[in-house]
Amino acid sequence: SYFYCSPVPEVMVARSLIHFAVLLACVSAYNNGAPHSRTPPLGWSSWVGLGPLGEHPVFDYCDEASVKMAADAYVAVGLYDAGYRHFHLDDCWAGPRNASGYLTAESDHFPNGMKPVIDYVHSKGLTFGLYTCGGTETCVGGRPGSKDHWQQDADVFASWGVDWVKMDWCNTEGMDPKETYPLMSTALNKTGRHIHFNMCEWGKENPWEWGDNVAQSWRATGDHTPIWSSTKSIIADSAAIPAANSGQAYGWNDMDMIETGNYGQAAHANNREGNMTATEYKTEFSMWAISASPLVVTTPIYNCTVPATPTPSCSVVLLEQHSVAACTLGQSYDCNGNNTMWAEGCRGVFNCNGRNVTCDHDGEGRHICSCGAPVCTPTITALQKEILLNTEVIAINQDVTPQGRPVTNGDLTLWTRSLSDGSVAVALYNQEDTAQAIGFNTTQLGWDTSTEATVRDLWAHTLNGTITGVFEPVVVEPHATVMLRVYRKQD
């Protein structure tokens, strides 16, 4: 275990009053020098965000060209300037083990191996993360897991320059996470490289009780998808973590990736297309932020188009069939006259006008695939810019104090997080389907009833005046969160 000294709020209950005093204390924390780990990781993941250039994102896909394009786009769309630093590849990159048992990259997607790709991401000032699994195979791709290859895999990751490793928990029959995760943790540290370790056993064994000795972050919940029922459930799971086990510097409860602003433009994780409203997506970001969860968004951050230009001739040849349905030229696939091809029922890899094209779309009807070279532009939607680049809400997340949680156990309407500068973050959260009036008093922030304080609305970006003792209830719309930062006026 590593140790770190940080401000730790001590909660003292006297009759019905809750007082907060900030003490300087040394607490057990896993600080092995990994970059951007003192506060919750802030970043982007490939999970639903990548596909072959020029095509719609594919669930858990990555290749050299798409990763490099995403690294460029990460900076161009403003994530870097807003403070984001982590860049993660999920279960999409690994090929078979070599004859000596070491992991290799999937050769058709990464023909030059992983190191040049990782070096490119590092050149953008980003922290690079890779996925593995503690069992025999990974969860989605069926790729090699790290079981019984702890040191080999750790050595490979370190030699490539990896800064963050997520270890999932599929295909682990008969294994104990409390015994297994320390094996990889120890192996990573033996490499001599400073690597952030993220555990992912979905919170089933209460990792908040033992994770501080093993990792810098750990999944505390099940998988998150961009639908309201999932978001609501994950927030409730975070609220149930005991106050004594709330996250702290170098030890964070991970609520899973956020999918802010994802609709049809993203791939669909676990067969769930995003359908949340703008209000619900703001709640997702707000509640992950005040809970001091890692804020790692998975979403497309560039858009590629292929100009449809007339061509004097057209040829298409099937190279690799992916569909069960038959692929017959002229019947289930063929050329168009504008540098595109079509496929209906047939899915696979084709050579179209001399260029290899993956045309692999599920669903009925005729699908059009481009045959030309794609032109890619970094982009996120206006809603995503409003939410993901809100540095005032990000600042609530990027602190070293224990995570925010409900003031009263069982009542999820009022959450607070005491911050290092003495202010308090407040979330007025309405999970219900009807509007609710929610307010608070300054004793619930750890101050006395005569305290004067100024209130700032972090979504409206406005100062909402001064209160003395009480913030009168305001109407919070269904599934909405009012995000505030309250500053005590100095005597």
Cβ-based neighbours of 378, under 8 Å, separated by 6 or more? 72, 73, 76, 77, 301, 302
* pLDDT for the residue numbered 28: 53
- Label the pairing between strands 411-418 and 424-429: antiparallel
Q: What is the DSSP string of 456-472?
A: EETTTTEEEEEEESEEE
- CA 46, chain centre distance (Å): 9
State whether the Cα torsion 369-375-376-381 is positive or negative.
negative
The predicted pLDDT at position 219 comes to 98
Under DSSP, the state recorded for 208 is G
Comparing C-alpha atoms, which of 248, 182, 177, 173 is closest to residue 10? 248
399 is catalytic: no
Q: Record the tokens describing residue 46, joined without a space.
A: 């490939």
Q: Strand runs (DSSP E) across 56-181, as ranges?
A: 86-88, 94-97, 103-105, 127-133, 164-168
The token pair at 157 is 């990751």
Could you tell me the pTM of the whole model? 0.88
Query: What is the chain's Cα-based Rg?
Result: 24
| 491 residues of the chain, pLDDT tens digit each | 454 444 444 333 332 333 333 333 444 568 999 999 999 999 999 999 999 888 889 999 999 999 999 999 999 999 999 999 999 999 999 999 999 999 999 999 999 999 999 999 999 999 999 999 999 999 999 999 999 999 999 999 999 999 999 999 999 999 999 999 999 999 999 999 999 999 999 999 999 999 999 999 999 999 999 999 999 999 999 999 999 999 899 999 999 999 999 999 999 987 789 999 999 999 999 999 999 999 999 999 999 987 777 777 789 999 999 999 999 999 999 998 888 899 999 999 999 988 888 888 777 889 888 888 889 999 999 999 999 999 999 999 999 999 999 999 999 999 999 999 999 999 999 999 999 999 999 999 999 999 999 999 999 999 999 999 999 999 999 999 999 999 999 74
Instruction: Note if 421 is an active site residue.
Output: no
Amino acid at 338: N
**Residue 287: exposed, middle, or buried by beta-carbon count in 10 A (0-12, 13-18, 19+)?**
buried
> What does the pLDDT read at residue 29?
67
Whole-number pLDDT of residue 25: 41
Q: Which listed residue (63, 90, 155, 168) is catalytic?
A: 168
Distances from the Cα of 89 to the Cαs of 31, 92, 128, 148, in angstroms? 23, 7, 8, 22
